[in-house]
Structure 1
Amino acid sequence: MRLAVYNVENLFDRAKAMNLESWDEGRPVLERFAALNALLGQISYSATDKTRMAALIVELGMEKSDTGPFVLLRRNRGGLLKRPQAGGVEIVADGRADWVGSLELRDEPINEHAMRNTARVMVDLKADVLGVVEAESRPVLSAFNQEILPAVGGQPFRHVMLIDGNDERGIDVGLMSRAGYPIGPMRSHVDDLTPAGVPVFSRDCPEFELTTPGGARLVVMVNHFKSKGFGSQASSNARRRAQAERVAAIYEGLVASGAEHVAVMGDLNDTPGSAPLQPLVAGTSLKDISAHPSFDDGGFPGTYGASSAGNKIDYILLSPALFAKVRSGGIFRKGMWPGVRPKKWEAYAELKRPEDAASDHAALWVDIDL
């Protein structure tokens, strides 16, 4: 069987703030969005909270309208704010119970060439089981599977599953599998909490149990750890470490219950030697497929951007019994922008500009005798 994982960076629509030319442009928007959302969700609003909320609303371009360039404020009922004729914003609600609505990031369609190149990657991987990172929802993933894969000559996957996670931007993790690899019992960890009462996982760490055509049981956990993109380095590192510790504990629990064939895969947003990932990559019996003698990295150790060693952030980690059955593995980069002077790797002919790239991430695959 072939097991693969791919960070698709959304399929049809993506938050406009995440589509800007540089991360330095989008990061302040996402930071302000997160800060305002956290304040709006509080049970009661202090005077300081109200002042800060009003300032953030203005900074997000919503001084005159609930629709900003990157963010949309939906107000269904109740009173949250007023906009005085003199300008500015005044928060009139005293807490979350005083109004009904939500704060949302505005989306825009993905470049059509990028969308089709994403589908080409999914088809050319020839995976029996594919972990997908950054899909908007199960209906979106299912529609992409049924409509776009055939449009580039592919066969849709038989099974598609995604459990909504904790990220409000619509970047969840899911699983697709071929006929003969049915998805059985599933377990979500969206409600796992840290000692401080904060959700551990930025998205989720779903456990998918599959059965192979030969009757073997395989448990796959798909992950997308906290990025380094916004928030302080210390808080981001602490969040990733907590996620690594929790995944390690879940894995150990599966092993203790008798599970032999376990795979942990996804975008862990850090390098193998980083302190945050050590509880998972060094503190368990899981083995990185890149350490297998047959693994081919195509001459570049990384999986993101320029694919340098510092950009190795995507993983397939296997339990010892599964690792022992590995035949081969590698990194698939044809959907990534290869550069121009010179091109670093072979890319699709349809990939003529960086904007046409399927994703900034490469896909990983491994062939296993199971």
Structure 2
Amino acid sequence: MRLASFNVENLFDRAKAMNLDTWADGKPVLEKFAALNGLLGQVTYSAADKTRMAALIVELGMEKSDTGPFVILRRNRGALLKRPHAGGVIVTANGRSDWVGSLELRDAPVSEQAMRNTARVMTDLEADVLGVVEVESRPVLSAFNEQVLPAVSGKPFHQVMVIDGNDERGIDVGLMAREHFTLGLMRSHVDDRSADGNLIFSRDCPEYFITTPKGTTLVVLLNHFKSKGFGSPQSSNARRRAQAERARVVYEDLLAGGFEYIALIGDLNDTPDSAQLEPLVDSTLKDAFTHPNFDEGGFPGTFGLGNAGNKIDYLFLSPKLFAKIEKGGVFRKGVWPGVKPKRWETYAELTAPEQAASDHAAVWVDLDI
């Protein structure tokens, strides 16, 4: 069987702030969105909170309207703010109970060619079990599976599953399985919390129990750790470290429960030598990249141009599953290869960076189970 992981970076729609020319372009918007959302969610608003909220609303382009270029403020009931004719914004609510509504990122469609290239990668990977990262929802993944895969001569997967996670931007993790690979028990860790009461996982660390045609049970732990994109490096690093520690506990509990074939896969947003991933690297899990039959195609990384500092997508396998590897590799045909020089061969339909299936290459292994 073939197991793979692919960060698709959304299928049909993506937050406009995450769909600009570079990540750095959208970072300030995402940081302000997160700050404003956090303030709006407080039980009580202090005078300083109100001043900061008003400033953020203006900075996000909503001085004149609840619809900004990248963010929408939905006000269903109650009074949150007023906009004086002289300009500016005044927050009138004294706390979250004074109004009903939400702050949302505006979406923009993914380019049609990028969408088709994503489907080509999913098809050409020939995976029996595929972990997908940054999918909008299960209905979206199901629609993509049933409508877009056939449009590029691909065969839809038999089962698709997404459990809603903690990220309000619509970037969840999901699983796709071919016929005869039966998805059974599912267990979410979306509500796992640290000792101080904070949610651990940025999305989730779902456990998917899959029965192979040979009757073997494979447990897949699917992850997308905290990005480096916004928030302070210190807080982001601490969050990834906590996620790695908790994922290790989940893995070791499964081992103690008698499960031998366990895969922890996904986009972990850090390198193997980082302190953040140390709990996983120092566990009994083994990185598929270290197997003698794994071919990374001459580029150690999985993101961007494939440099070593961009090795952030993983297939961590339990020892007995690692021993079942027949071969593996990195699938880069949907990733923009650069131009000077062009680093790898791509689809003929990939002629510009915005047409890339993703900035992430897919990773895969063939397992004799």
Instruction: Name the TM-score, length of structure 1 as normaliser.
Output: 0.99
Aligned residue identity for 1:369: D
Aligned residue identity for 1:32: K
Distance 1:365 1:318 in 2: 12
Q: Which residue of 1 aligns with 2:41?
A: 41
Cα shift at 1:196: 1.8
Secondary structure in 1 matching 2:25:
helix
Distance 1:204 1:259 in 2: 21
Secondary structure in 1 matching 2:127:
coil
Aligned residue identity for 2:364: W
Q: Which residue of 2 aligns with 1:156?
A: 156
- Following TM superposition, the consecutive aligned residue runs of length 4 or more in structure 1 with deviations greater than 4 angstroms are none
Cα shift at 1:341: 2.1
Q: Which residue of 1 aligns with 2:75?
A: 75
Cα shift at 1:305: 0.3
Distance 2:68 2:196 in 1: 33
Q: Which residue of 2 aligns with 1:244?
A: 244
Distance 1:232 1:160 in 2: 35
Secondary structure in 2 matching 1:192:
coil
**Residues 316-364 of structure 1: CA deviation (Å, up to 9, x unaligned):** 0000110111000000000000112221001000000011100000000
Cα shift at 1:16: 0.3
**Residues 249-290 of structure 1: CA deviation (Å, up to 9, x unaligned):** 0001000011100000000000000001000122x1100000
**Residues 88-129 of structure 1: CA deviation (Å, up to 9, x unaligned):** 111111111111100000000000000000000000000000
1:142 pairs with 2:132: no
Q: Which residue of 2 aligns with 1:129?
A: 129
Distance 1:214 1:22 in 2: 45
Distance 2:264 2:24 in 1: 31
**Residues 207-260 of structure 1: CA deviation (Å, up to 9, x unaligned):** 000000010011001100001111111111100000000000000100001110
RMSD: 0.5
Q: Which residue of 2 aligns with 1:304?
A: 303
Q: Which residue of 2 aligns with 1:315?
A: 314
Secondary structure in 2 matching 1:240:
helix
Secondary structure in 1 matching 2:108:
strand
1:326 pairs with 2:325: yes
Which stretch of structure 1 is more off in the superposition, 88-97 or 122-131? 88-97
Secondary structure in 1 matching 2:28:
helix
Secondary structure in 2 matching 1:258:
coil
Distance 2:356 2:22 in 1: 15
1:268 pairs with 2:302: no
Distance 1:23 1:295 in 2: 30
Secondary structure in 1 matching 2:142:
helix
1:92 pairs with 2:67: no
Which stretch of structure 1 is more off in the superposition, 338-347 or 63-72? 338-347
Instruction: Name the TM-score, length of structure 2 as normaliser.
Output: 0.99
Aligned residue identity for 2:296: D
Aligned residue identity for 1:93: A
Q: 5+ unaligned residues in a row in structure 1: which ranges? A: none
Distance 1:341 1:56 in 2: 41
Q: Which residue of 2 aligns with 1:232?
A: 232
Alignment of 1:93-108 (within 5 A): 93-108=93-108
How many equivalent pairs are there? 369
Q: Which residue of 1 aligns with 2:254?
A: 254
Overall identity of the aligned pairs, in %: 72
Distance 1:270 1:365 in 2: 19
Alignment of 1:188-203 (within 5 A): 188-203=188-203
